[in-house]
Amino acid sequence: MFPLVRYLLPVVCLALALATLGQSDASPQKKKKPARPQPPPAKEPADPLPEGAIVRLGKAEDVIRMAFSPDSQTLATGHSEEVRFWDVSSGEQLRSIRRPAGAHSLAFSRDGKAIVLGDGLLGIVECDVARVRTLRAPLPAKDFNNPDLMLGGPSVSVAPDGKTLAACHPYGEAIQFWDLATGKELKEREAKIKAFWEGKGGDVRDWIKSVVFSPTGTMVAAGGCYGPSGSGGSVYVWDTTGKWLQVLHGDRDVGVGTISFSGDGRLLACAAIHEKLPDQKLQPANPFGEDEGKTIEVIRVWEVASGKELFHLWGKRLLRGVVALSPDGRVLAWSGTGDDDHICLRDTTTGKELSKFRYHNTDVLYAVFSPDGKTLATTTGSQIFLWDVSGKRPPAWKVPELSPKALDQLWADLANADVAVARRALWTLVAAPKQSAPLLRERLKPVPAVDAKRIAQLIADLDSADFDMREQATAELERLGLLAEPALRQALASRPSLEVRKRAEELLKKLERPITSPETLRNLRAIEALEHIGIKEAKALLQELAQGAPAALETQAAKETLHRLEKRLATSP
């Protein structure tokens, strides 16, 4: 019996298991509860904005250049293969333009509806901002299309009146100018600059790296590496006809990168390479330490009229310094390169630091102020930040009651050869308008017109048989300066005697030198003070000065100042 049970027991267990399984299948199925939705994976928190930044502009890889629209509402950024447009208030990208050769330089047209691009290989094109279309095929700039010159693409600048374009390619043939309405090249202007440079013993292909119009539209500046007779690392300034005005050169500077004008064109800042002597101790001391390399970066701020340096700041060795002047010229934004990476704001009058914005251990590569002076855009090449600088202004100068003796000293200081002393006097006068306005009215007078017959007689006396009379006529014509220039050029065109030609050419050559007359420099600085004072009495005096001799520098400065004041009044809310 037991053997039988041993064989039947497994069969019975199997049957019971199958029966239980069948009952389970026959029972009604219960509805499964829906699974509880899982929360989405948490996003990684975005990097916090650097202290002082108001917005970060999206993804901005390979940023090369930036430019604000004239109304300060749009920022254009040039990248390796495109141009992007951003809304300044929201930080949102508006649109983009595809440019395979990259946008190495940007400049808005006067009305903000078009943008001029300096492409690495394609030359210069003008694009419609709103419709994203090319308005003009590449302008015929032969050296811009040379694939052997892949050193950063052309630098372009549009004149404030929107009529003229200036451009150069790093180590290209020369500065080139175009009439934007017709697309024609202005070769006469180019020839003057080329002749000037070759007359100095140089080859323009050796040096031009950047070109920029002054915001006043009266000057164009260019700089780069190398130059004639060891004068590399200089900024050269011409008027818009191609006449040389100024050369700004720091001792032992061998290269110039970024150039920036103040809004009134009176100041110019540049980033340069300085070649150190083996035992040279930097003055002032370099905050980055005494670099052991042979070259070091320097930021220089110049007064254009006198050609004198206002101050300089040391950086690191590479020519990657950032430099930008605010529209009113009172604030310098700059950055060196190194471990302590930041963008620093300084007062251009005192050289003192106003504020400092720090990044996250990345180099600042480019900076630009908005035309209204309220926003500063900076880029590290991979990120773009906008900073509110409207509150980062030099503090108001608190000036006690000025005695007559103190006013006399300030008037004397305006003519000081030390530009820092002169500009401190300027801003002291601005800070005391009720006392300075009467002083300036008393001392500043319109330049009187010179009798044309008198100038003609002086030119005739250059050919006198009496040596003393020739010398006296030469000295008086030199004192008249620009007032005598048209007549001197007319005399040269009439094929004069050898003596007249020699003296006239020497007089005209002196007019090409920087302004050295203390009296003229004082008058120009006093006119600048009137612009910043801006009260009714100051404007009335400017109107009187603008009626002076048309060729006088003081007359031209007064007219330009009045134009800026009227424009500022028309655009103010």
Tokens 């004149």 label which residue? 159
- pLDDT value at residue 526: 94
Give the closest residue to 326 by CA, choosing from 384, 377, 381.
377
Tens place of pLDDT per residue across the chain (573 aa): 445 545 555 555 555 554 554 444 444 455 555 555 555 554 444 567 777 788 888 776 788 888 999 888 999 998 888 889 999 988 889 888 887 667 777 888 878 888 887 765 545 677 777 765 665 555 554 444 443 333 345 677 888 887 888 877 655 556 778 887 777 888 777 766 666 666 655 554 446 778 889 988 889 998 876 544 445 678 888 888 777 788 888 877 777 878 899 988 889 998 887 776 656 666 555 544 455 557 777 888 999 988 888 888 877 644 456 789 988 888 899 886 444 567 888 888 777 888 888 765 567 778 899 988 889 998 877 788 899 887 766 666 677 788 999 999 999 999 998 888 998 899 899 888 889 999 999 999 999 988 889 999 999 999 999 999 999 999 999 888 888 988 998 999 898 999 999 999 999 887 766 677 889 899 999 999 998 887 888 889 999 999 999 888 899 889 988 888 887 666 555
- pLDDT value at residue 474: 93
Please list the residues that pair with 96 across neighbouring strands.
Answer: 84
Angstrom distances, CA of residue 122 to CA of 99, 117, 135, 207, 540: 9, 10, 14, 21, 51
Q: Would you say 342 and 357 are in contact if contact means Cβ atoms under 8 Å apart?
A: yes
| Peptide bond before residue 284 is cis, with ω within 30 degrees of 0 | yes
Q: Would you say 286 and 276 are in contact if contact means Cβ atoms under 8 Å apart?
A: no
The verdict on pTM exceeding 0.75 is no
Taking the C-alpha atoms of residue 297 and residue 61, their distance in angstroms, rounded to an integer, is: 26
Q: Would you say 194 and 206 are in contact if contact means Cβ atoms under 8 Å apart?
A: no
* Backbone angle region of 417, left / alpha / beta, with phi > 0 → left and psi within -120 to 50 → alpha: alpha
- pLDDT value at residue 199: 62
- pLDDT value at residue 543: 94
b/e per residue 502-532 (b: at least 16 CB within 10 A): ebbeebeeeeeebbeeeebbbbbbbbbbbbb
DSSP string, 29-50: PPPPPPPPPPPPPPPPPPPPPP
* Backbone angle region of 102, left / alpha / beta, with phi > 0 → left and psi within -120 to 50 → alpha: left
- pLDDT value at residue 2: 47
Taking the C-alpha atoms of residue 307 and residue 514, their distance in angstroms, rounded to an integer, is: 6
DSSP string, 461-502: HTT-S-HHHHHHHHHHHHHHGGGGHHHHHHHHHT---HHHHH
Give the closest residue to 551 by CA, choosing from 474, 487, 458.
487
Q: In degrees to the nearest 10, what's the CA dihedral of 506, 512, 513, 517?
A: 90
Taking the C-alpha atoms of residue 406 and residue 131, their distance in angstroms, rounded to an integer, is: 60
Taking the C-alpha atoms of residue 46 and residue 62, their distance in angstroms, rounded to an integer, is: 20
Taking the C-alpha atoms of residue 116 and residue 102, their distance in angstroms, rounded to an integer, is: 13
How crowded is residue 384: how many other Cβ atoms within 10 Å of its Cβ?
23
- pLDDT value at residue 537: 86
pLDDT tens digits, 29-78: 555 555 555 555 544 445 677 777 888 887 767 888 889 998 889 999 98
DSSP string, 175-209: -EEEETTT--B-HHHHHHHHHHHHHTT--GGGTEE
Amino acid at 561: T
Using H for helix, E for strand and C for coil, what is the string for 317-339? CCCCCEEEECCCCCEEEEECCCC
Angstrom distances, CA of residue 250 to CA of 117, 134, 212, 270, 286: 31, 41, 19, 10, 16
- pLDDT value at residue 527: 94
The distance in angstroms from the start CA to the end CA of the chain is 115
pLDDT tens digits, 200-235: 555 544 467 788 899 888 899 988 765 444 456 788
